[in-house]
Structure 1
Amino acid sequence: MLNSTLPAKIGVKICGLTLPEQAIAIAQMGVGALGFITVPYSPRYVPVATIADICRRLPPAVLTVAVVANLDLDALAHLVTTTGVQALQLHGSESPDFCQRVREALPNIVLIKALRVRSAATLAEIPAYAPVVDRILLDAYHPQQLGGTGRSFDWGLLKNLRLPCPWWLAGGITPENCRQAIAQTQPQGIDLASGVESRPGVKDLGRVAALLSNLGINANRPPHPEAPHL
């Protein structure tokens, strides 16, 4: 039987937000990191202007993350300047060398590298990234989608995983299985999108509250838990 004891403090990121009022409500509930998808073909894509509006309305303690894929340095710098995000999540095929260049060009940005886990061979790539990023995010592989699939990967691959930098788990995590996921893999944090949604880009705040409750985090639940009618 898995030990269900959770770490003293587990990080939580809710990703794929598209509605400003939901982002603000989720931050008020106690979630420490919010993610915004800038990849145009994603069903959770959100315009730069909306990200900037949300970032202006959030307290600095909430980590704002722009999720990108295969943008060049100039585009990344422009995105950071335009939106005011505090972190970049590189979710494409960015190399360790490119991550190092991002680190040098944007030294004040929290840099996250996402790896989509197909097999143990994916995990063998981590040591090359660990020295040049602030966090590794391990997500499920999908041949057509970069993330937000609602699928998990074989968490058994992560048994006894020890990394020289913080790492977070993504892919198929829900309020119902979050404790099992953490107990089995022992990450420093978890990242959810579809697991707390009513449809892509629209969060179910009741499920967010359930997630936080199951993690032992006292959520300050807002009075209107559902998304506004669109």
Structure 2
Amino acid sequence: MTLVKVCGIRRIEDIEFLNKLLPDYAGFVFCKSKRKVTPNEAGDLIKRLDSRIKKVGVFNDNDFEEVVHTAENLKLDIVQLHGSEDEKYVKNLYRFKIWKTVNVDVSHVSKINIQDEIYDICSWNVEAVLLDSSVKGKSGGTGINFNWNVLKDLDINKKLVLAGGLNSKNIIEAIKIVTPDVVDVSGGVEENEIKSFEKMKNFIQKVRNL
């Protein structure tokens, strides 16, 4: 069964939606983003979060000590690294479960280089590789999906997390092509940049009905 992560949680109302719908993961962004929250804000939200939902902290080239301090204080279940963090950086976070992002340019049509990069990350001490869209150097929060066919026939020994422009209209096709372990949605369940209960519900139901 494909699991669901809803990312960019920043309001008490978002937490209430999550507690009703019970996705598998909730993502809190601690790097530059319109959905960024401070550790204190995230802490207040996490106190209200159903304990069955795992907590993911999203970082992008943050200071190492900041990542460790935030992850420990908030008791994060997953540390998601979205920047240019190298293997040494990841190795020093050995006490945490790590999801490392590989950014796929939306104009990319060849699967060879992307798959090589994914296989390289799989040799690191990570729990999962997360695939996200990038547009002209901008990664994360693009709202645009990349060519999922570049992942066809991919066979890795880590969990695969699919992100980037997912919504209730394309999620079934995405899962059929990529067969990810986890799908990660943010803007695709928003209305005017605010999380929508109905969109979240529709997305989660579609994933779980497959």
Instruction: Mark yes or no: TM-score above 0.5.
Output: yes
2:147 to 151, 154, 159: 154
Shift, 1:34, TM fit: 0.6
Write the letter of the residue equivalent to 2:173: Q
Q: Where does structure 1 differ by over 3 angstroms across 4 or more consecutive aligned residues? A: none
1:69 to 1:77, Cα distance in 2 relative to 1, 3 A = same
| CA distance in 2 between partners of 1:216 and 1:65 (Å) | 20
State the partner residue of 1:99: 90
| 1:163 correspondence with 2:156 | yes
Taking structure 1 as the reference length, what is the TM-score of the superposition? Answer: 0.83
Higher relative contact order (CA 8 A, sep 6+): 1
Q: Secondary structure at the match of 2:141?
A: coil
State the partner residue of 2:40: 49
| 1:133 correspondence with 2:141 | no
Q: Secondary structure at the match of 1:117?
A: strand
Q: CA RMSD in A?
A: 1.6
Q: Comparing 166-175 with 109-118, which one deviates more in the overlay?
A: 109-118
| 1:89 correspondence with 2:80 | yes
| CA distance in 1 between partners of 2:171 and 2:21 (Å) | 17
Alignment gaps of 5+ in structure 2:
none
8 Å contact 2:115–2:154 — kept in the other structure?
no
2:58 to 67, 71, 78: 67
| 1:113 correspondence with 2:74 | no
1:190 to 1:21, Cα distance in 2 relative to 1, 3 A = same
1:185 to 1:52, Cα distance in 2 relative to 1, 3 A = same
Alignment gaps of 5+ in structure 1:
1-8, 218-230
State the partner residue of 2:25: 33
State the partner residue of 2:49: 58
Q: Secondary structure at the match of 1:137?
A: strand
2:190 to 197, 201, 216: 197
% same residue: 26
Shift, 1:44, TM fit: 0.9
8 Å contact 1:117–1:123 — kept in the other structure?
no
Q: Secondary structure at the match of 2:121?
A: helix
Shift, 1:65, TM fit: 0.8
Q: Comparing 53-62 with 147-156, which one deviates more in the overlay?
A: 53-62
Taking structure 2 as the reference length, what is the TM-score of the superposition? Answer: 0.90
| 1:213 correspondence with 2:210 | no
